Amino acid sequence: MIAPEEAWERIMAEVAPLPPRRFALNEVTGRVLAEDVRADADHPPFAASTVDGWAVVAEDESPRRRILDREGWAGEMPTVTVVPGTAARVMTGAPIPPGADAVVMIEDSVVEGEFVRLTRAVRSGENIRPAGSDLAAGELVLAAGTVLGPGEIGLLATVGQSEVWAYPSPRVAVLSTGDEVVEPWETPGPAQIRDSNRYALMAAIRGAGGEPISLGIVPDQPEMLRKKMELALDQADVLITSGGVSEGDRDHIGPLLAELGTVHFNRVRQKPGKPLTFATIRGKPCFALPGNPVSALVSFELYVRPALRRMAGHTRLRRPERPVLLRHPVRPDPVRTEFVRAVVEQEGNQWWARTTGAQASSRLLSMLGANALLRVPPGPVLPEGASVTAILIAWPEDR
Ligand code: AMP
Ligand code: MG
């Protein structure tokens, strides 16, 4: 049995980013950029007005100025040259006509027939966005490794990158195992239960940026399991199974993984999720999760999610952590580190945690509303007010 930190290390030693691919801009949300992107040109490419107003010569002291042009639209090149004693209308985003060095807002002017009178002093450069003031040609705009959100995608469009190199989403095959497991739409027989793991895990895979592939339910029969696992690895980058990974006579997953590939560990000193097993087959990561629904989801959160993020090119793999105070006593496990589902709330400068009630690994209700896992090492009972580390699996305001 190895420590949770050691399990993390062994997984990370085996998991690498997938080869980058070309993606169109409408396919890159949340992806990690795999190339440096530079500005193709100055932005804006021309000096532009930032307001609707009059392009003028700032030093000009004429009380009224003759109007040269009443329509300086964005998208049109100016046809006039501004000299002292004149003014030309410009709209927001329109190029500044030659000769002008300032724009006076329309609100600061009065039109008197063929003339315009300014009601405020003018400063040179006012209301003009110089060429290259947002981005200079050749400037590094986005570095490889950047996570692409709305601002980043807008920048890619600005510099003319309609396709970029980015990391693909790992395809993750999910397989439920167990003679007793049936589909959610079936009525379970007297000794059967419904498959919750595959659906919960597919949601977790999507949430982690992966693409789930559902492989159904396979009974505890080695030949059927082997076939399905090999089929899974033909189409997926990662295999996740649930169930059948303990020490029972019908727990075939461990021996099968050893036969098909290399098992890197098969017990972790943690609660829930002790039987968690990690292997590689043909270089592809395989996570055999315990069948209990909470064990499966907590193991996914702690180990599979960071692995999927690394495959998708992320470098920040872990959730944020912070110290929190317990609202009530917690009794640690005598030998294993426990990951306790909890609700964390901020009160002034202090962060508080209460657990989600009974922590049985079969009780999915213990996941509901949980925005944190408290890392509780073995030791004596922790009193109310004791400080523990919370792994924030969701921000408090999300709940
Ligand atoms: P196992 O890891 O196969 O020993 O299963 C541990 C517990 O999890 C047993 O009570 C199983 O019935 C239950 N279980 C296994 N697979 C699933 C599943 N796909 N959905 C819900 N519960 C499951
Ligand atoms: Mg089983």
The four Cα atoms 258, 261, 266, 272 give a dihedral, to 10 degrees, of: -120
Whether the CB of 192 sits within 6 Å of ligand 1: no
Co-location of 382 and 267 in the same domain: no
Pocket test for ligand 1, best of 242, 249, 252 (most atoms within 8 A of CB): 242
Q: Are residues 162 and 283 in the same domain?
A: no
What percent of the chain has pLDDT above 90?
98
pLDDT higher than threshold 50 for residue 389: yes
- The Cβ of residue 329 has, within 10 Å, a number of other Cβ atoms equal to 11
Task: Give the nearest ligand 1 atom to 176 CA.
Answer: 19
Q: By residue range, what is the domain housing residue 81?
A: 48-129
Q: Per the domain annotation, does 55 fall within a domain?
A: yes
Do 177 and 271 share a domain, yes or no? yes
C-alpha of residue 245 to centroid of ligand 2, in Å: 7
Band (pLDDT 50/70/90 cuts) for residue 206 is: very high
Shared domain check, 251 and 208? yes
Is the domain of 189 the same as that of 258?
yes
Q: Which atom of ligand 1 is nearest to the CA of 244?
A: 3
- Whether residue 140 is contained in a domain is answered as no
Question: Does residue 58 carry a pLDDT above 70?
Answer: yes
Shared domain check, 253 and 382: no
The token duo for 372 is 């944190």
Residue 138 domain flag: no
Query: Which pLDDT does position 397 carry in this prediction?
Result: 60
Average pLDDT, integer, range 73-99: 97
Q: Could you give the number of structural domains in the chain?
A: 4
Q: Which atom of ligand 1 is nearest to the CA of 193?
A: 12
For atom 23 of ligand 1, which residue has the closest CA? 291
Residues 191 and 232 in one domain: yes
User: Based on the domain organization, do 106 and 155 belong to the same domain?
Assistant: no
The reply to whether the predicted model has a pTM over 0.85 is: yes
Ligand 1, atom 6, lies closest to the CA of 291
Are 197 and 267 in the same domain? yes
Last residue of a domain, one of 266, 291, 311: 311
Tell me which of 289, 311, 333 is where a domain ends: 311
We report the CATH number of the domain holding residue 387 as 2.40.340.10
Query: Domain for residue 398, yes or no?
Result: no
Is any atom of ligand 1 closer than 6 Å to the C-beta of 241?
A: no
Q: pLDDT tens digits, residue range 211-242?
A: 999 999 999 999 999 999 999 999 999 999 99
CATH of the domain at 307: 3.40.980.10
Domain assignment of residue 43, yes or no: no
**What are the pLDDT digits (tens) for 4-50?**
999 999 999 999 999 999 999 999 999 999 999 999 999 999 999 99
How many Å separate Cα 245 from the centre of its chain?
31
For ligand 1, atom 16, which residue shows the shortest CA distance? 291
Is 137 contained in some domain? no
For ligand 1, what atom is nearest to the CA of residue 292?
Answer: 8
- Based on the fold, state whether residues 289 and 376 are members of the same structural domain: no
Q: Looking at the domain assignment, is residue 90 inside a domain?
A: yes
Using one digit for the tens of pLDDT, what is the confidence trace for 285-328?
999 999 999 999 999 999 999 999 999 999 999 999 999 999 99
* Three-class secondary structure assignment of 82-127: CCCCEEEEECCCCECCCCCCEEEEHHHEEEECCEEEECCCCCCCCC
On whether the CB atoms of residues 342 and 306 are closer than 8 A, the answer is: no
Q: Is residue 136 part of a domain?
A: no
- Say yes or no to pLDDT of 251 above 50: yes
Question: What was the pLDDT predicted at 346?
Answer: 92
The two three-digit tokens of residue 105, written as one number: 């807002």
Protein residue with least CA distance to atom 14, ligand 1: 291
Whether residue 32 is found in the same domain as residue 61: no
**What is the percent of the chain where pLDDT is above 70?**
99
Identify whether residues 295 and 357 lie together within a single domain: no
What are the two backbone dihedrals, phi and then psi, of residue 6, each rounded to the nearest 5 degrees? -65, -40
Radius of gyration of the chain (CA): 31
Over residues 147-176, mean pLDDT: 98
Which of helix, strand or coil describes residue 304?
Answer: helix
Distance 292 CA to ligand 2 centre (A): 9
CB of 355 closer than 6 angstroms to any ligand 1 atom: no
The CATH number assigned to the domain holding 30 equals: 3.90.105.10
Cβ of 299 less than 6 Å from ligand 1:
no
Ligand 1 pocket, mutate which of 179, 181, 297 (most atoms under 8 A from CB): 181
The answer for residues whose C-beta is within 8 angstroms of residue 92's C-beta and 6 or more apart is 49, 50, 51, 52, 74
From 280, 311, 342, give the residue that closes a domain. Answer: 311
